[in-house]
């Protein structure tokens, strides 16, 4: 293929102006195939799957090599100067906003967090991010580096060099995606057909090729042909382009998505680092992926040139438990153990324990995942079917699909220890300086027993301290608040009694985490 007339044949080489790079993290995934660790209220990007950090935290760390130095260069040298925005743009579901914000803050990052009131897939998410990027610095059209929050990458240096090359081509007007160099036959990914090589801007730049077309997940025999040809790459879901280029493309190919997203953003509430979208406008937005909405269509549109940059960096989408096993360090028998796990006469298996001892004897190719309220046992070659099982659990209104027994909150956590028809017992831990919302219940009373630390209690018009081995009572219908004024965690046992004990029996009057302001959000967290 002759690429001498391709719109981007020399664009990267000619560009010498410093480019503003805007990192974008798409954090709206649910990760149902990783149940029971991943739940609707605690999805896979927020849990520690691959070690001591969550997938979101690993994604944040992946950005470190793109930080600009004082002279406008970057630690990844490809010959093109660029600087990276200090503030990330993160798009996530409204129900995950506080846990997402906590992990970002814990890693020393600042972010504009765009909150989706309902799931609408990745094309609307990237459209919202592009509009937010243009609004961040008026007059600047940044290159967005958009990454899913729930992927894993082993070789950070190779990843950063590939991203830097993608930035160069995106600065010239391309819609760029990273294509994973396949190392096996895989039917679970979409593929990208890569065309002729484009000119490299420097000796440090990675290879870039014309993007010929996206193809759907193939049958096994087709995947074998793709791997043998050397012309196909896996679709990584990582995209790099100027904000204005994406907005032009989405308006051209999917005007309804463009209009709905802009309306939702413009009518939204922007405060304290969060963008709360207008619910009605966003609910009217069609649901579509970046691939279907735009990338599969650009091969026939010369106005939107596509580029794919091959990535060989130990990438995984961590889509199911077999991927976690594949990415993990193994013993001499191919087993992976997390937590209190013992293997005896077993091979090629994965076992995870959140607390109880898991003992595997004489098993091969199995996955065992233990949590406080659910245990998964699956054949490693059938873990994709976990998603269907979770669907059945949701249809049966099983609480295990929605949340863990131990529920994380911005102030700490609670653990539902026991429950009956008219009572429920919880262990509550409030971190130093944190407090629950000022609230009231219509259907239950509460007994509080402090076992460690000091509680500052508001009950009606009175405020008082409750210390270790002391207790208090909150009558039904009484306004109340629990706070930790100390410097150590407050631990207490709460006994609820009444005719209805659901978490939606909460009327909030004041909340430091902004949950009162969101009138349309179903109140499911204490």
Q: At what angle do helices 122-136 and 255-266 cross, to 10 degrees?
A: 50
pLDDT at position 30 is: 77
Q: Would you say the C-alpha torsion 44, 48, 50, 55 has a positive or negative sign?
A: positive
For residues 177, 181, 187, 189, the Cα torsion angle rounded to the nearest 10 degrees is -20
Q: Give every CB contact of residue 390 below 8 A, 6+ residues apart in sequence.
A: 32, 35, 401
What's the rounded Cα separation, in Å, for the pair 151 and 319?
Answer: 8
Nearest to 17 by CA among 128, 126, 160, 171: 171
Cα–Cα distances in Å, from 13 out to 19, 224, 262, 277?
Answer: 14, 36, 34, 39
What ranges make up the beta strands (E) of 243-299?
Answer: 269-271, 274-276
pLDDT at position 517 is: 53
**Residue found by looking up tokens 């549109």 in the block:** 301
Q: Assign domain 11-316 to its CATH superfamily.
A: Spore Coat Polysaccharide Biosynthesis Protein SpsA; Chain A (3.90.550.10)
Task: Indicate the class that CATH gives domain 406-510.
Answer: mainly beta
36 cis-preceded (ω within 30 degrees of 0): yes
Give, rounded to a whole angstrom, the gap between the first and last alpha carbons of the chain.
61
* H-assigned helices in 449-506: none
CB 30: neighbour CB atoms within 10 A? 19
What ranges make up the beta strands (E) of 243-304?
Answer: 269-271, 274-276
What are the extents of the domains in the chain?
Answer: 11-316, 321-394, 406-510
Q: Would you say the C-alpha torsion 310, 316, 319, 320 has a positive or negative sign?
A: positive
CB 31 within 8 A of CB 150: yes
Instruction: Report pTM.
Output: 0.84
What's the rounded Cα separation, in Å, for the pair 65 and 471?
Answer: 52
pLDDT at position 203 is: 62
* H-assigned helices in 367-432: 386-395
CB 70 within 8 A of CB 83: no
pLDDT at position 183 is: 87
CB 512: neighbour CB atoms within 10 A? 13
- Going across the sheet that includes 406-409, the strands are 406-409, 412-419, 423-430, 490-498, 444-452, 471-474
pLDDT in tens, 249-303: 999 999 999 999 999 999 999 988 999 999 999 999 999 999 999 999 987 788 8
CB 471 within 8 A of CB 449: yes
What's the rounded Cα separation, in Å, for the pair 147 and 144?
Answer: 9
pLDDT at position 36 is: 96
Question: What residues of the chain score a pLDDT lower than 50?
Answer: 1-16, 68-75, 519-526
pLDDT in tens, 494-504: 999 999 988 88
Helix (H, G, I), strand (E, B), or coil: what is residue 45?
A: helix
pLDDT at position 31 is: 77
Beta-strand relationship, 375-379 and 366-370: antiparallel
């Amino acid at each position: 293929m002759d690429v001498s007339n391709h719109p981007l044949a020399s664009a990267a080489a000619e560009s010498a102006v410093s480019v503003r790079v805007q990192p974008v993290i798409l954090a709206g995934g649910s990760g149902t195939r990783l149940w029971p660790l991943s739940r609707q209220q605690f999805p896979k990007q927020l849990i520690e799957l691959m070690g001591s950090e969550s997938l979101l935290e690993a994604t944040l760390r992946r950005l470190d090599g793109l930080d600009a130095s004082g002279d406008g260069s970057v630690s990844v040298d490809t010959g093109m100067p660029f600087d990276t925005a200090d503030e990330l743009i993160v798009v996530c579901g409204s129900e995950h906003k506080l846990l997402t914000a906590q992990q970002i803050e814990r890693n020393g990052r600042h972010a504009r967090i765009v909150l989706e009131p309902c799931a609408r897939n990745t094309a609307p998410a990237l459209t919202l991010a592009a509009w937010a990027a243009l609004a961040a610095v008026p007059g600047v059209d940044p290159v967005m580096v958009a990454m899913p929050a729930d992927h894993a990458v082993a070789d950070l240096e190779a990843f950063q060099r590939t991203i830097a090359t993608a930035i160069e081509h995106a600065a010239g007007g391309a819609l760029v995606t990273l294509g994973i160099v396949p190392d096996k036959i895989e039917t679970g990914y979409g593929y990208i057909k890569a065309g002729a090589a484009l000119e490299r801007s420097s000796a440090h730049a990675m290879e870039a090729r014309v993007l010929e077309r996206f193809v759907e997940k193939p049958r096994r025999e087709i995947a074998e042909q793709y791997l043998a040809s050397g012309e196909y790459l896996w679709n990584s879901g990582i995209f790099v382009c100027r904000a204005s280029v994406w907005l032009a493309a989405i308006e051209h190919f999917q005007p309804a998505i463009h209009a709905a997203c802009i309306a939702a953003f413009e009518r939204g509430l922007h405060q304290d680092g969060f963008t709360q979208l207008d619910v009605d406008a966003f609910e009217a937005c069609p649901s579509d992926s970046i691939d279907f909405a735009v990338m599969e269509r650009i091969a026939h549109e010369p106005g939107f040139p596509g580029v794919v940059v091959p990535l060989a960096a130990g990438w995984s989408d961590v889509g199911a438990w077999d991927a976690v096993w594949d990415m993990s360090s193994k013993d001499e028998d191919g087993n992976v153990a997390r937590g209190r796990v013992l293997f005896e006469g077993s091979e090629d298996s994965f076992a995870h324990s959140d607390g109880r001892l898991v003992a595997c004897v004489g098993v091969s190719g199995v996955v065992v995942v233990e949590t406080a309220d659910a245990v998964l046992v699956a054949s490693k070659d059938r873990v994709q079917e976990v998603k269907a099982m979770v669907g059945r659990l949701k249809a049966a209104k099983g609480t295990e699909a929605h949340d863990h027994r131990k529920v994380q909150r911005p102030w700490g956590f609670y653990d539902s220890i026991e429950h009956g028809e008219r009572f429920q017992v919880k262990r509550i831990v409030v971190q130093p300086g944190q407090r629950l919302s000022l609230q009231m219940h219509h259907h239950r009373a509460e007994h509080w027993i402090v076992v460690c630390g000091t509680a500052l209690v508001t009950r009606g018009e009175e405020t008082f301290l409750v210390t270790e081995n002391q207790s208090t009572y909150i009558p039904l219908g009484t306004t109340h608040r629990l706070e930790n004024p100390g410097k150590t965690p407050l631990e207490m046992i709460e006994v609820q009694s009444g005719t209805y004990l659901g978490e939606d029996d909460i009327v909030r009057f004041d909340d430091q985490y902004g949950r009162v302001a969101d009138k349309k959000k179903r109140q499911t967290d204490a």
